[in-house]
Amino acid sequence: MKVFLDDVREAPAGWIRCRTPDEVIALLETGRVSEVSLDHDLGIGVGESEQTGYSVLAWLEREVAQGSWRFPLPAMQVHSANPPARERMTRAIDAILRLHKR
């Protein structure tokens, strides 16, 4: 399944739209996600309690680093219009891929 995280944009045809990181994580935990596309700014929380697309990547990076991830990694992309956030998320994806290869 293809998962699209965004609070404003509609998912492309063939994708499942999620509005929160928790929804995406729940789907990732099924092991059936083949691709994920993430927005950063979701309008959920403020400051340290803010939930973003990066929250999904931070969770996945921890899972992979701890050896808890037991499924093939989904293809990961970022569709955020926030340039600094997009760069941070791209670095997180790179880290996940490096950790997964170990």
Residue 92's pLDDT band (cuts 50, 70, 90): very high
Q: What is the pTM of this model?
A: 0.93
Could you give the CA distance from residue 41 to residue 6 in angstroms, rounded to a whole number?
8
Q: What's the rounded mean pLDDT across residues 58-76? A: 95
The residue extents of the domains of the chain are 2-101
Could you give the CA distance from residue 63 to residue 46 in angstroms, rounded to a whole number?
25
- Is the confidence at residue 101, as pLDDT, over 90? no
CATH for 2-101 is 3.40.50
The full DSSP string for 75-87 is: EEEE--S-HHHHH
- Is the confidence at residue 65, as pLDDT, over 80? yes
Q: Which residues contact 54 (CB under 8 A, 6 or more apart)?
A: 38, 40, 85, 88, 89, 92
DSSP 8-state class, residue 39? -
